[in-house]
């Protein structure tokens, strides 16, 4: 049986991502403890960011949810996971602040499993504080 087609792929520009994160931050009271929102919030967010659309299909609520859950929130979780490691550094100016062979080795090993952290080797993430407000418990994950 052939794989199920998921439809057209979303193409996100920086303005859409910026608007989405700020929109969800403004509506953070609607988020659950794990940083997920109801479908109605994703739908409203898709309508809000439509003004920044430049290419690809218009963003649906499902596309917005996927961007939030599979990309933006995962970046935050990866940063939090790195930050929580003993001896690892994180700040919003220098990111992981890699400045030596040992730091580089630790970072590279972590990035093999958590590749979304790679851009933040030596630069911060402008959205970190906003995500910290949306997901104040560090986005705990697990089965229980």
Q: Quick check: 78 and 125 in contact, CB under 8 A? A: no
Q: How far apart are CA 58 and CA 130, in angstroms?
A: 25
* pTM for the model: 0.86
> In this predicted structure, what is the pLDDT of residue 8?
77
pLDDT in tens, 34-90: 889 999 999 999 999 999 999 999 999 999 999 999 999 999 999 999 999 988 889
Q: How far apart are CA 21 and CA 41, in angstroms?
A: 12
> In this predicted structure, what is the pLDDT of residue 48?
98
Residue 95 is classified by DSSP as B
For residue 32, pLDDT over 90 is answered with no
pLDDT band at 141 (very low <50, low <70, confident <90, very high): very low
Region 100-127: mean pLDDT is 94
> In this predicted structure, what is the pLDDT of residue 34?
81
Crossing angle (nearest 10°) for helices 101-113 and 73-84: 140
């Amino acid at each position: 049986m052939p794989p199920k087609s998921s439809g057209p792929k979303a193409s996100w520009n920086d303005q859409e991502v910026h608007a989405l994160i700020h929109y969800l931050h403004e509506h953070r009271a609607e988020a659950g403890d794990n940083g997920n929102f109801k479908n109605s919030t994703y739908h409203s967010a898709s309508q809000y960011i439509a003004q920044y659309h430049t290419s690809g299909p218009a963003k649906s609520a499902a596309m917005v949810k996927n961007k939030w859950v599979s990309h933006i929130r995962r970046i935050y979780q990866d940063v939090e996971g790195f930050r929580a490691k003993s001896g690892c550094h994180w700040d919003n100016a220098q990111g992981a602040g890699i400045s030596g062979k040992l730091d580089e080795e630790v970072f590279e090993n972590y990035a093999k499993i958590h590749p979304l952290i790679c851009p933040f080797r030596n630069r911060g993430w402008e959205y970190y504080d906003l995500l910290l407000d949306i997901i104040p418990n560090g986005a705990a994950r697990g089965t229980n």
